[in-house]
Amino acid sequence: KAKRDEHVRVLYLEVGCNGMFGNGGGLIGPPKEDRKFALSTADLVVYNDDAWALYYDMEILAAMAKDLQDSPRGWQALVAANDIINEFSVGDQKSIKTALNISAKFFAAQGGQGNHQVYAIGNCHIDTAWLWPYDETKRKIARSWSTQLDYMDRYPEYRFAASQAQQFEWLRTLYPSLFKRIQEKVKTGQFIPIGSTWIEMDCNIPSGESLARQFLLGQRFFKQHFGQTCDVFWLPDTFGYSSQLPQIVRLAGAKYFFTQKLSWNNINKFPHTTFQWAGLDGSSVLTHMAPANTYTAQVTVSDLIKSVKQHKDVAYSNESLYLYGNGDGGGGPLEAMIERLERIKDVDGLPRIKHAHPNEFYEHVEKTARDLVTWKGELYFELHRGTYTSQARTKQYNRQAELLLRDVEMLSVVAQSVAHGFA
């Protein structure tokens, strides 16, 4: 907000010469060097709080009327929406106030304590390397996370999780003042460093030692800069999960696992939502896959309904995680998503939903779930299979580099021991 003595405010617009998914032809085409973009309009407007509040109310009412057609609550939503339309008059601020009273009465009816509980966490999954240069990844991080810091000031209950120590390191180096603001929000519990690893990595091609170093370096970074390690191995977007991971996760000090990609299987649908995943040595981690089947949810009524209907273990654990916010290329939750969540957090006809730290979800599952199954061995992803047969030379060199690094490290330890008289 502007101060009384602030007569001039300078605004900066950052414009990237690329589309939503890079600067190539289609999803994976090479860059088009002569591609041009134009900024056509930019408007400064006065924000009408009541009008926007009514807009968000109507979004939820319309969605409930559509998605709950066979229930009394759906019909009640339709009646409330119709009453608002009859009351509303364009340009009449008083009619907006009256309409808000109608929607408030509808949302005042709360659900029962036995309703499914959804734990919502904002996130903006950012692929460290995909359809844009590394420099664009670094800018995406700064843009996305600075926006979330603003939301934290405006919505005290809001929680946002971000993974990948490498991205935090880029931010610390290139945007030190922004990194310090994040450290402050970590202390309040609103900004949640998560994941345990250096990046969100592939888990099939790398060697076991490579995976171990992911956790070693990641946990070390989070401890050094945030005073805490991560309990959750956070990997929503990778193409399969090696059977050695539960052991490595446990040895790294984590005990929970979240992923999403297995819900994309195109032949055999994975049969569980919340379960214990056991590795080669018998180590196990409590695992959950959000039943909304996405890590870029938009906070919609239909998503909440899916969180119940698609939960394969709801008989044994009546709760689920819900990851919302624009992702892959960053961005994160929008103000509209947070506003919608506020309206549906405890309303009759829908599951209850609340802002929460992922740890809160897992800890509650540990205490209340019963008869969870144990899945032993690899979690095989039945899609994107070509990623493991393409670019064979790159993969060959990666394995050769891993073996060379192992040899160099062993020899360096021997040399250091000799130098200190420990031969």
Q: What's 29's DSSP letter?
A: P
| Dist CA 304 CA 299 (whole Å) | 8
The encoded tokens of residue 387 equal 């990623």
The encoded tokens of residue 308 equal 């119940």
Q: What's 147's DSSP letter?
A: H
Residue 183 one-letter amino acid: Q
Q: Is 237 a catalytic residue?
A: yes
What stretches of 314-364 adopt beta strand conformation (E)?
Answer: 319-324, 352-355
Residue 121: which of 369, 256, 257, 320 has the closest Cα?
320
83, 202, 237, 328: the active-site residue? 237
Q: To 10 degrees, what angle do helices 49-67 and 301-309 make? A: 40
| Backbone φ and ψ of 102, nearest 5° | -65, -45
Residue 165: which of 249, 230, 222 has the closest Cα?
222
Residue 384: which of 245, 210, 259, 261 has the closest Cα?
261
Active site residues: 237
